[in-house]
């Protein structure tokens, strides 16, 4: 069997499947290595910390003696956390080479970004009497990396990389490196899919090796015994009903399905086993492929950081190290997060356990602070696996000069979600502001940009054309979300993107549009990397159901009008049950737009929501503005919001909605403001004659 490999940025090939050896006992190592090599493995992963390099070296010596060739193997080892300083890099690599009986390794990794003081009497971290590990606070990852580069030049290793580093730490290395990291080794399995980290590494040509790719069942006993881990810390991925069903479809084991899912997703895997049959089985994953639907089902198991097994807190006191890579996750647990009301919580909010967040299957949702600003950086987890900021800046109706000022202010205040559309004709302005922001150090992976397919060319063959135009105008290589702006379609003029109209001023309807066919093309944009997630806007429940029935990639998001007078409760409940995050536009009710678009509606029926006594009383009680109350009401019901403001000074106020909670009585008082369909402002009848389109979403007959 020819073992498949990936070409590293260093120019060397790394096999996609390797043998993990953590916890493998020295007395069984010879049998394990022999079984692996006989089964076709040529990639062996170890580390100085594993204390098994000598046993591996003995096994390799025997294999070489039987005719095996060094150039056919790929050996990885790692710099230990108690040798994580520039002066120790060469020393520990030489020790590893001596133990392995090799002249060079194929890949040498910095095992961890943090460092401990070495015990004087052994190769182990030093500990205080209270059991705390003694931190080496002088550790400098960049200085260590400079020494790693020297090992390549000296021929002791062909490639170098990192392990257990976060995005910020990797970026720091990239900014200061002559030789870029070829590989990152991190925990990766179906419950912990590391989407953002994977995207970052792909953009920077860093291959990823996933350890614990089947959920580390073998480590369960070790951690329960040594560190008193609870049994529920270890996921039973091998017994998961979704995994078992897919395994049955292909006549494969559940382990093979989990490994195939990772490899088909572009990862390298290093499963560990001491059982010869399982060792052989774990590499037999190249004779089948998972369907798109099966990949989607396995992708949906992701619980993000809540699925992490190895946070290294078994090194008592390690979280105090300045280079501890998971500080944001620990900070999250100590901070107050959004409280969702009963009902919405049953569908979307995470539940607390003693050791992690457990996410319900119906809607993979998690709250994570990924910026310094907790309010602006609070996110939902989309069904596509990506983080979606709960609060975003809407850009509709802002002229060029105002938009430049407002967007610049929004980015400065920590807003990282920007919503636009080809129809808004402002993507070039947004692109200009983003270009300036990137030039000042802003990172693409820190922002979430949504755009939309225009409703005046809503055809399958136009999807790729318009997303490329949007990307060009925005100056981006990909979008985070691409939405179909509306289910209906109208024609535009032949010589411009202005709407075509009939003599009576009505729009020229395009009755040949097919939302399902358009959706198929939307799915292609995900597969081709132009957008990470896709969704819908202004679709009704029936229209969404039609998409769900035919979709290989389900909609991650629905953007619709939602505010106190138009709360869309049945539609939102339907979406939440189907794993679709709802974004509410016009969340403050747009009283000016109501007067303009519906002059027949009286102020008696629709009083200015900002002047309502009930809203003002609640605001006064919490020491908040009316705007903050209206936004929080939606968020507490599980809705994301995008607001527009011409005043940059209002932006900070609009995102400071996560430090209080409305009572159930207050929520009910605000719920009671709902006027159902009559409360709708944006029925699109400003497009004269649009209600005659067969896909007009707001009529009773579709």
Q: Residues 404-418, buried b or exposed e (16+ Cβ, 10 A)?
A: bebbebbbebbbbbb
DSSP 265-307: TT-EE------HHHHHHHH--SS----HHHHHHHHTT--GGGG
How far apart CA 451 and CA 474 sit, in angstroms, is 10
Residue 133: how many other CB atoms lie within 10 Å: 23
User: Tokens representing 656?
Assistant: 């400071």
Question: Measuring CA to CA, how many Å separate 36 from each of 139, 441, 684?
Answer: 37, 46, 64
Which spans in 388-530 are helix H? Answer: 400-412, 427-439, 460-474, 515-527
Q: What is the residue-wise DSSP string for 121-137?
A: TSSSB-B-TTS-B-B-T
Gap between the Cα atoms of 563 and 671, Å rounded: 10
How distant, in Å, are the alpha carbons of 405, 429, 477, 539 from that of 408?
5, 11, 21, 32
Angle at 311 between CA 265 and CA 346, to 5 degrees: 75
CA distances to 26, 107, 128, 314 from 131, in Å: 27, 33, 5, 10
413, 469 Cβ separation under 8 angstroms: no
Which class for 92: exposed (0-12), middle (13-18), buried (19 or more C-beta within 10 A)? buried
Do the Cβ atoms of 395 and 424 come closer than 8 Å?
yes
The two beta strands, 379-381 and 387-389, are antiparallel
3-state DSSP percent of the chain in helix, strand and coil, to 5: 40, 15, 45
- Distance from C-alpha of 441 to C-alpha of 461, rounded to nearest angstrom: 37
Distance CA 117, CA 195 (A): 33
CB 390 within 8 A of CB 657: no
- The residues annotated as belonging to the active site are 50
Question: Other C-beta atoms within 10 Å of 439: how many?
Answer: 8
């Amino acid at each position: 069997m020819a073992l498949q490999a990936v070409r590293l940025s260093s120019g060397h090939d790394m096999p996609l499947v390797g043998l993990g050896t953590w916890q493998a006992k020295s007395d069984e190592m010879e049998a394990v290595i022999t079984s692996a090599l006989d089964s076709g493995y040529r990639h062996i992963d170890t580390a100085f910390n594993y204390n098994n390099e000598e046993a591996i070296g003995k096994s390799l010596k025997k294999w070489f003696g039987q005719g095996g060739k060094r150039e056919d193997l790929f050996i990885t080892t790692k710099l230990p956390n108690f040798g994580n300083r520039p002066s120790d890099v060469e020393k520990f690599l030489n020790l590893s080479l001596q133990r392995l009986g090799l002249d060079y390794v194929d890949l040498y990794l910095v095992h961890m970004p943090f460092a401990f003081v070495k015990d004087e009497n052994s190769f182990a971290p030093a500990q205080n009497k209270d059991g705390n590990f003694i931190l080496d606070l002088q550790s400098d990852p960049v200085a260590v990396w400079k020494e790693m580069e020297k090992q390549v030049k000296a021929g002791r290793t062909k490639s170098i990389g990192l392990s257990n580093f976060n995005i910020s730490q990797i970026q720091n290395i990239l900014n200061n490196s002559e030789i870029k990291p070829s590989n990152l080794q991190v925990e990766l399995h179906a419950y912990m899919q590391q989407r953002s980290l994977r995207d970052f590494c792909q953009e920077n040509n860093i291959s990823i090796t996933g350890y614990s790719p089947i959920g580390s069942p073998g480590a369960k006993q070790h951690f329960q015994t040594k560190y008193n881990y609870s049994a529920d810390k270890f996921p039973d991925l091998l017994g998961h009903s979704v995994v078992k069903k897919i395994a049955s479809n292909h006549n494969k084991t559940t382990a093979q399905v989990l490994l195939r899912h990772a490899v088909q997703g572009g990862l390298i895997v290093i499963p560990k086993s001491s059982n010869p049959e399982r060792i052989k089985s774990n590499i037999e994953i190249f004779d089948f492929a998972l369907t798109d639907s099966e990949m989607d089902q396995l992708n949906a198991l992701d619980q993000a950081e809540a699925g992490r097994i190895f946070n290294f807190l078994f090194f008592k006191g390690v979280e105090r190290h300045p280079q501890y890579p998971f500080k944001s996750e620990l900070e999250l647990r100590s901070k107050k997060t959004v409280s969702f009301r009963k009902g919405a919580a049953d569908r979307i909010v995470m539940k607390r356990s003693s050791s992690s967040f457990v996410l319900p299957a119906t809607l993979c949702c998690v709250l994570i602070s990924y910026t310094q600003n907790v309010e602006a950086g609070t996110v939902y987890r989309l069904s596509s696996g990506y983080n979606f900021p709960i609060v975003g800046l809407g850009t509709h109706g802002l002229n060029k000069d105002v938009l430049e000022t407002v967007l610049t202010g929004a980015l400065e205040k920590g807003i990282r979600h920007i919503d636009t559309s080809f129809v808004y004709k402002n993507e070039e302005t947004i692109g200009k502001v983003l270009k300036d922001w990137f030039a000042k150090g802003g990172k693409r992976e820190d922002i979430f940009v949504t755009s939309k397919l225009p409703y005046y060319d809503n055809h399958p063959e136009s999807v790729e054309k318009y997303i490329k135009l949007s990307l060009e105008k925005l100056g981006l290589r990909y979008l985070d979300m691409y939405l179909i702006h509306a289910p209906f379609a109208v024609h535009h003029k032949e010589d411009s993107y202005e709407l075509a109209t009939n003599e009576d001023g009505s729009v020229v309807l395009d009755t040949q549009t097919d939302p399902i066919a358009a959706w198929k093309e939307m799915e292609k944009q995900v597969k081709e990397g132009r957008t990470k997630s896709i969704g819908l806007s202004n679709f009704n429940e029936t229209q969404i159901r039609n998409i769900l029935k035919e979709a290989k990639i389900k909609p991650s998001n629905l953007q619709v009008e939602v505010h106190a007078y138009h709360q869309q409760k049945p539609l939102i409940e339907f979406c939440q049950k189907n794993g679709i995050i709802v974004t509410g536009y016009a969340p403050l009710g747009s009283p000016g737009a109501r007067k303009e678009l519906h002059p027949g509606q009286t102020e008696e029926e629709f009083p200015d929501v900002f002047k309502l006594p009930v809203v003002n009383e609640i605001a006064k009680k919490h020491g908040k503005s009316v705007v903050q109350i209206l936004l929080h009401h939606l968020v507490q019901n599980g809705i994301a919001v995008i607001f527009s403001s011409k005043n940059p000074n209002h932006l900070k106020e609009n995102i400071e909605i996560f430090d209080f909670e409305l009572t159930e009585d207050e929520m009910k008082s605000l719920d009671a403001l709902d006027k159902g369909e009559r409360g709708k402002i944006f029925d699109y009848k400003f497009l004269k004659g649009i209600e005659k389109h067969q896909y007009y979403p707001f009529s009773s007959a579709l």
